[in-house]
Amino acid sequence: MNVILLKHFDFDDPAVFTGWAEEEGHRLAILNPTRETPDPALLDDADLLIVGGSPASAYQDDEYPWLGPEKVFVRAAIDRGIKVFGICFGAQMLAELLGGRAYGHSLKEIGWHDIRRTDAFHPALVDLPDDFRSFQWHGDTFDLPPGAVRLASSAYCANQAYAWGDRVLAVQFHLETSPPCIETMLDVWEQDLRRDDPTVQSAEEILSEQARASESFALLRGILNNFAASEGARSELTALNLRFEPFGNTHGSSGFLRGET
């Protein structure tokens, strides 16, 4: 399987995705849309697009010139029938592209929070417990787009996961966040913790639970494997003819994806 990951900030650690791709024999290419506009032609041989988190908001097109072109790229993936998996910012962007709305929440969810699955079935989530705990760091939320099915909720955020058809899957929570990334977030975004909201844990509380990351990684790998194998996957895979050009990055390697000429 040929997989593209959109990664929006340097210290977002892609280790769980690189490890999963290596273990499963997939080809993984990592792009940073904030640095270079992704070419829709790169989707020609892609089977799965993962849209990761971002400190930007999905509705801030006027503030971030890179956001509009990224939306064109993601929309093109949807229109081509490529499977798309959105995480946090990615889930909010997908909701907007599919006719819903992303907007600022009345509160922030930061730290480890309980998530509960709904009764709706989705093959990608069959190995996910009915109740589980996941890392979160967001101040935005979204309305479900028309035709979407809610798959999970939390006490403070109704839309924690949804599916749109069999090729778009999105989650608000962060099963992918590694301990090194968490520690950097606590340093760089420390001001977000200066709140009295019951939904915002202290740095100490967050660090006390970061051993949960290994369990979260296992849950995410299950979701990725099941989503990749679910009905509608391409029956024939062709190799991506790519080269990787590294760019400066903390906590994990990554690179731009460029088509060979």
Catalytically annotated residues: 88, 174, 176
DSSP state, 200?
Answer: B
Structure tokens at 39: 């070419």
Contact 104, 97 (CB under 8 A): no
β-bridge pairing 83-87 and 255-259: unpaired
Helix (H) or strand (E) holding 225: helix 213-229
Which residue in 95, 159, 149 sits closest to 120, CA to CA? 149
Integer CA distances (angstroms), 57 to 54, 60, 136, 145, in order = 7, 5, 15, 17
Contact 115, 134 (CB under 8 A): yes
Torsion, Cα 123 257 178 151, to 10 degrees, reads -20
Strand partners for 135: 112, 174
3-class SS shares of the chain: helix, strand, coil, % to 5: 30, 30, 40
The single residue listed with the structure tokens 């093109």 is: 76
Helices (H), the chain: 15-24, 67-79, 89-97, 179-188, 203-208, 213-229
Q: How far apart are CA 177 and CA 111, in angstroms?
A: 11
Strand partners for 142: 102
Phi, psi of 42 (to 5 degrees): -70, -15
